[in-house]
Chain A
Amino acid sequence: DAKTTQPPSMDCAEGRAANLPCNHSTISGNEYVYWYRQIHSQGPQYIIHGLKNNETNEMASLIITEDRKSSTLILPHATLRDTAVYYCIVRIDTNAGKSTFGDGTTLTVKP
């Protein structure tokens, strides 16, 4: 799996968009970008994933740059319950379930 780099922490005001960056400059053409989050004392929760195109679901949007070397997870209207550690993972889909998570970004949503 390609290595990812994320800022250790970020703050966001409640109701505003949270933009979480991830660098994955060594990503291969067949590797997907996955995002998970982990709220304190719980297991990680799948958020979204993508290969090349931008993706959106009910939780978030994923923007992948054209060269695929970086991506941004967007939470459009952050709430206090979005306070969590967010992990960006790059992996070949056939190796799903074998990923090692990095240290992630601790997002703190403030009132």
Chain B
Amino acid sequence: DAGVTQSPTHLIKTRGQHVTLRCSPISGHKSVSWYQQVLGQGPQFIFQYYEKEERGRGNFPDRFSARQFPNYSSELNVNALLLGDSALYLCASTWGPTGSNYGYTFGSGTRLTVV
């Protein structure tokens, strides 16, 4: 079975541009979470979606938005990119709204570099 897949794996953007990152959860998983990991730090929670509804939002500006599609895949959008948005963006999925006993399965991430 395929794990959580994210695309693209690497991306370079210019300040002020917009970026869309994509995530496909494990088959059967209905919940997707997004994280930002700046170099040298642990992942920081951005969004959680379950059954296409936002279930949680971390402390990120409105430039960050996300959505979940009927097939449970998800997109993370970031507008007006800043140099500080350079990071590894991780997607994680699980079957239900709580993650329950098995935690979340993470993808390998998208490395975004803003220049």
Contacts and interface: CB of A to CB of B under 8 A. Distances in A.
Interface of A: 34, 36, 41-46, 49, 85, 87, 93-104
Select the residue from B44, B58, B92, B107 with max chain A CB neighbours within 10 A: B92
Select the residue from A34, A49, A93, A96 with max chain B CB neighbours within 10 A: A96
Nearest to A93: B98
B42 interface: yes
Contact of A43 (B41, B90, B100): B90
Given A36-B103, A49-B103, A98-B56, A44 B43 contact: yes
B100 A93 contact: yes
B108 interface: yes
Interface of B: 4, 31, 33, 35, 40-45, 48, 55-56, 58, 90, 92, 94, 97-109
Nearest to A1: B45
B43 to A, nearest CB: 5
A43 B45 contact: no
Contact of A100 (B42, B101, B109): B42
26 contacts: A41-B108, A42-B109, A43-B90, A43-B106, A43-B108, A44-B90, A44-B92, A44-B106, A46-B105, A49-B101, A49-B103, A96-B99, A96-B100, A96-B104, A97-B33, A97-B55, A97-B56, A97-B92, A97-B99, A98-B33, A98-B48, A98-B55, A98-B58, A100-B42, A101-B43, A103-B41
